[in-house]
Chains A and B, each alone.
Chain A
Amino acid sequence: MRQVFTLLAIALIASTTLQAQDGGRKIPAVEIKALNGASFNTGSIENDGNPIIISFWATWCSPCKRELNTIAEDFVDWQDETGVKLVAISIDDARNMHKVKPYVDGQSWEYEVYLDPNADFKRAMNVNNVPHTFLIDGDGNIVWQHNSYQPGDEHELYELVEKLAAGESIN
């Protein structure tokens, strides 16, 4: 039991101490795949100084699809109003990754979608479970993250996107 507490203590100290530095963290550069099989380096994710949403999802994850399909309904407005871009990272492995493009096109998503079949980018971003959503500010800093999804969360996310687009700090 003592060991678990030690482990927890390390984790908690680390998380509280380090949360403050969240502001300066950039997207790690990891080689993943585009839907057409091309290599893609995540270090090159950018949006001309506008905010970016990075959302980790999978075809077998119901809350993930609920989140991305809900956002898709209003995404044109989100883009018009804030210039935001959504990068959806599928963590589907070889079993499902070839079904990702048909699904994305079938749902008419206007997102940039990439494949991370061996979870390399997921690991670099310290994602435990999907859905997991990150917000990146205009300078490329990771400024916010959120685990799991429930209906209504998209409103909170969009309020934060609006703040970022207006140049306000969200911390």
Chain B
Amino acid sequence: MKQLQLLSSTFLLVFLCTQTLTAQDEGGGLLDGLQIHGNFDVYGQQYNKDSIIGAPVVPQKSGINAFTNLIATKGKFTAGVRIESYLPPVQGFDVRYGNQPIGVPFRYATFKQDGLEVTAGNFYEQFGNGLILRAYEERALGIDNAFDGIRVKYSPYKGVYLKGLVGNQRYYWQKSDGIVRAFDSEFQLNELISQLETRALRISLGGSVVSKFQAGGTSSLKLPENVAGGAGRFQLNWKDFGLMGEYAYKANDPTKSNHYIYKEGQGLFMSATYSRKGFGVNISAKSIDNMEFRSDREAGLNDLFINYLPALTRQHTYNLAATLYPYATQPNGEVGIQGDLIYKIKRGSKIGGKYGTTIQINVSLINALKRDYYTSENIDTANALLDQQVYLDADPGRKGYKTNLLNIGDSVYYRDFNIEIDRKFTKHFKLKATYAFQEYNIALIQNKVSDNVVAHIGVVEGLHTFGKKHSIRWEAQTLFTDQDQGDWIFGLIEYGYSPHWIVTILNQYNYGNKVEDLRVNYPTAQVTYIQNALRMSIGYGRQRAGIFCVGGVCRNVPAANGLTVAITSSF
């Protein structure tokens, strides 16, 4: 608290100084050219008792997550802080955020000049696709694995980009024990080699090395204290075609999650695209084995990841398709392929109609990576033996299993086939229809005892505009499945008065639940006010337990009943 008071007084002083001094000193003083900007976000929830939907009882009866970013820039210098507060954390966020009600977990200073950039303090970073290193934040999910240390970026020649960093990672209000050291290089050949500058073929190459150190601890196993990893990548573009690939490797890294095996990890991610006006297609493939890379070998959940393994599936946006059965990457092993196509039927054509019609199709298939165990055909038995640290004659190297990245297993992790058709019928009316078929390994992803969930989802969305300011948007959604919670129906209606007001009413009903008492309605109403960068909303109702995802990473949102308030702005 003292820290905060000190900080707030400092900032107030800086603001006042800026205001007074810039007015006084037009000639160019110390603070001339200093700019301070930032944003803030407050999200609060009040909780009523509601045992029928399984809402947890919250003794404090409410939760608030809030943060403010302040960034000051002057010439070659930038400095910033983020103040965060959890009083207590909103349900669904890790309770460890509540270990400290308020504080400054993020602060940094950066100096930039002539292709050199040095940052001291906290920073985020990504090498290539992130397969070997990605520190990032997803505040809505409570994910933040920022580094605290030093980073240097340097561009010695045109087309050559180098980065080096060392640091500990954020672990809620603490820092990881493990230290991460990393280096990345990227070469844009068309910039680097003048003869290639005007060629249609564009080539970029990159490579990175990452190493983490963590003391061995007291385990009876001799654990490697330094674990190295690396990745290589390329991207080619030629006219309408694009091709990209990245391969990542990690040396043996016994962790809690891989049952302390001394096996190396590998990952491969490829993506090809072709697109021209009105048509685009993308095909991607990914295979990963034992690629969970964290700065603490005991860490679980979304904690202390050094790398990022993207899920190769469509990121749905409609409620029932997005929050009941969303896929999450299985870092210990999976093989997947995805195809994505968009086609715009020309406006004015017979099928396209007066305003044109857009069709999007997406297919993704994810399976297990097949493994040959040294000890037993049964995975659970094999892992239990490893966990007990039993010495196995058949596996003297304690590698656990054998596999390669092309070894596709039989077990289905995920299937998704979806098609979306979007058409504007008149100047004031648009309609969008979506069908999705999903198969979801709920036993693996949500730890529920069940066969794979097979779901059929249908969505129709309409948008009507009236004059320049008024609009009505509605959604009707259904989900049919024989597994898990059975069938759902969802309806939403939203009235918009541009540019300030949005009123939304929605309800979802689990009418097909096998347990009659659980055939529950989840009505919610919300009013939002927007004024430029400021957005405020207040809502009341029931929130269904589900999985909330941003960018392919998810958190469980527990059921809740009550009031929600959200305020956000940038300045």
Q: Which residues of A does B touch, CB under 8 Å?
A: 1, 3-4, 6-11, 13-15, 17-19, 21-22, 24-25, 28-29, 31, 36-39, 58-62, 66, 73, 92-96, 98-99, 101-108, 117-120, 123-129, 132, 144-148, 150-153, 155-156
Q: Which residues of B does A touch, CB under 8 Å?
A: 1, 4-5, 8, 11-12, 15, 19, 35-42, 64, 66, 68-71, 73, 83, 85, 87, 101-102, 112, 124-126, 129-131, 134, 136-137, 139, 153, 161, 186, 188, 190-191, 202, 204, 235, 237, 240, 242, 244, 269, 271, 273-282, 284, 308, 310-312, 315-317, 340-344, 355, 358, 360, 463, 465, 468-471, 473, 496-499, 502, 528, 530, 532-535, 550-552, 568-571
- Taking a contact as CB atoms under 8 Å apart, the answer to whether A10 and B83 are in contact is yes
- Taking a contact as CB atoms under 8 Å apart, the answer to whether A132 and B570 are in contact is yes
Distance from B123 Cβ to chain A, minimum over Cβ atoms (Å) = 10
- Taking a contact as CB atoms under 8 Å apart, the answer to whether A7 and B277 are in contact is no
Name 16 A/B residue pairs within 8 A (Cβ), A-sorted: A7-B66, A11-B68, A21-B35, A25-B37, A31-B161, A93-B136, A101-B275, A106-B280, A106-B344, A106-B358, A106-B360, A108-B344, A125-B570, A129-B535, A147-B533, A151-B465
- Taking a contact as CB atoms under 8 Å apart, the answer to whether A24 and B35 are in contact is yes
Residues of A within 8 A of B73 (CB): 28
Residues of A within 8 A of B35 (CB): 21, 24-25
- Taking a contact as CB atoms under 8 Å apart, the answer to whether B124 and A120 are in contact is yes
- Taking a contact as CB atoms under 8 Å apart, the answer to whether A105 and B317 are in contact is no
Residues of B within 8 A of A60 (CB): 315-317, 550-551
Distance from A33 Cβ to chain B, minimum over Cβ atoms (Å) = 9
- Taking a contact as CB atoms under 8 Å apart, the answer to whether A3 and B282 are in contact is no
Residue from A7, A36, A126, A152 in contact with B237 in the complex, judged by beta carbons closer than 8 Å: A36
A119-B137, A129-B568 known; A98 vs B273 contact (CB < 8 Å):
yes
A17-B19, A106-B275 known; A147 vs B530 contact (CB < 8 Å):
yes
A15-B569, A129-B568 known; A105 vs B275 contact (CB < 8 Å):
yes
- Taking a contact as CB atoms under 8 Å apart, the answer to whether B279 and A152 are in contact is no
Residues of B within 8 A of A6 (CB): 4-5, 8, 102
Residue from A3, A59, A106, A151 in contact with B498 in the complex, judged by beta carbons closer than 8 Å: A151
Residues of B within 8 A of A25 (CB): 35, 37
Residue from B202, B469, B551, B571 in contact with A19 in the complex, judged by beta carbons closer than 8 Å: B571
